[in-house]
């Protein structure tokens, strides 16, 4: 199984690396990081560069595509090289997936028209404007498209995908190998559970929330 | 606050990137990825290279050190350049931390002698052989040393550290920004909860489990 993970400047690294850490452990799975140009691409937090080993035109016909998110997605949405690659890849993928605001890129490519999908919680309205039916869920499967919520949801998405591809036992082995028994010190990971002041602060600084 | 995250060939990327995604969001925090040599370093799964922007001798006197784990830690443990850097940095850090088998590197440097610490669940015995008092917990704080369990625990560790440094509200804001409300599809993330066959398979292939 060939997995292509998109990287781009301004990505949120955890969305890609969380999914990668799971999918790369699937038996017989070949993962490649790919970008418009091969080489290092700096993440949104500006201190980490992930290397794309190959350019998009070398990552042809992957079985699985993973599109992460992050503030850089806005440039990616308007980059015809990425959109064209994504549309072409999607024609033959087994699974086309996204994490975080990567779903906005799928939507821009027209892959989510009328589909049920998710995204970072602050981007759900934007996802709707782009033609999808947005839902506030952790991981959403609609046909062969799987979308995940904000960056950390890439791990959950990839474990589900692992079970769909290789069965529950393999997915559980992978979960145990990365010791994924999360213990967040706070219950503040979703807008439905975080303290109101925390949610309001996030909304006030979001690039997605527009003046009413 | 200056944070130095160690990278090395054969690391498990998620341990570093999970902690990074949290710590880099702390106000006024400068993170640098560092290695014996600046440049790209390939992870244990072999498809991802993380770039160290600076060499160790340029990452002097960090306030926080993060040492990730992965199979490559065995080479790191025997690399005097890393061990010397770690010992010197630890003299002036506010927090010295590890994720996954990164605690074995701290132990090799002599920083965990008699200290309570954790590691990847399969490496707890090895951690004990190296002089620490190993415990099977998600995140362990002993003095200014914080150790975390297998790779995914770096997120939990960093959120705790964020709260210690900047308070609960900031840590909660960060948790919400990465939408860290985990929903693992299985309850198989620890050896105490995973199906027995999954645990046995992991033990059977572990590099840490020795013939009795």
Interface test with A, best of B2, B16, B21 (most A CBs within 10 A): B21
Specify if A157 maps to a domain.
yes
Binary contact (A179, B194; C-beta < 8 A): no
Specify if B111 maps to a domain.
yes
CATH number at residue B119: 3.40.50.880
Please check the confidence at residue A41 and state whether its pLDDT lies above 80. yes
Instruction: Give the helix, strand, coil percentages of chain B, each rounded to 5.
Output: 40, 20, 40
pLDDT, tens digit, for every residue of B92-120? Answer: 999 999 999 999 999 999 999 999 999 99
Q: Which domain holds residue A33?
A: 2-183
Across B37-55, b (16+ Cβ under 10 Å) vs e yields ebebbbbbbebbbbbbbee
Specify if B212 maps to a domain.
no
Specify if B11 maps to a domain.
yes
Q: What is the pLDDT of residue A210?
A: 60
Number of separate domains in chain B: 1
Listing DSSP states for A23-46 in one string gives HTTSTT-EEEEEESSSEEEE-TTS
pLDDT, tens digit, for every residue of A51-109? Answer: 999 999 999 999 999 999 999 999 999 999 999 999 999 999 999 999 999 999 999 99
Specify if A39 maps to a domain.
yes
- Tally of residues, chain B: 212
Specify if B7 maps to a domain.
yes
Residue B106 near residue B118, CB atoms below 8 Å:
no
Specify if B200 maps to a domain.
no
Residue B35: exposure state from Cβ atoms within 10 A (0-12, 13-18, ≥19): buried
pTM beyond 0.90, yes or no:
yes
Specify if A198 maps to a domain.
no
Q: How far B167 CA sits from the closest chain A CA (Å)?
A: 12
Binary contact (B31, A14; C-beta < 8 A): no
Instruction: Tell me what ipTM this predicted complex has.
Output: 0.97
Residue B45 near residue A31, CB atoms below 8 Å:
yes
């Amino acid at each position: 199984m060939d997995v292509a993970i998109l990287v781009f400047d301004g990505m949120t690294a955890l969305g890609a690396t969380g999914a990668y850490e799971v999918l790369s452990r699937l038996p017989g799975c070949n993962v490649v990081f790919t970008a418009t140009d091969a080489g290092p691409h700096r993440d949104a937090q500006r201190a980490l560069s992930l290397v794309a080993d190959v350019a998009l035109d070398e990552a042809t016909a992957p079985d699985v595509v993973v599109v992460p998110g992050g503030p850089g997605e806005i440039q990616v949405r308007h980059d015809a090289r990425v959109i064209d690659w994504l549309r072409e890849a999607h024609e033959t993928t087994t699974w086309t997936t996204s994490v975080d605001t990567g779903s906005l890129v799928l939507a821009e490519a027209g892959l989510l028209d009328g589909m049920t999908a998710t995204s970072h919680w602050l981007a759900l309205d934007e996802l709707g404007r782009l033609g999808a039916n947005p839902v506030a869920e952790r991981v959403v499967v609609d046909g062969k498209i799987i979308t995940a919520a904000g960056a950390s949801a890439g791990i959950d998405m990839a474990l589900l995908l692992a079970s769909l591809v290789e069965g529950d036992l393999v997915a559980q082995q992978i979960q145990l190998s990365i010791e994924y028994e999360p213990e967040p010190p706070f219950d503040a990971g979703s807008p439905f559970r975080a303290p109101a002041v925390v949610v309001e602060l996030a909304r006030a600084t979001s690039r997605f929330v527009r003046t009413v």
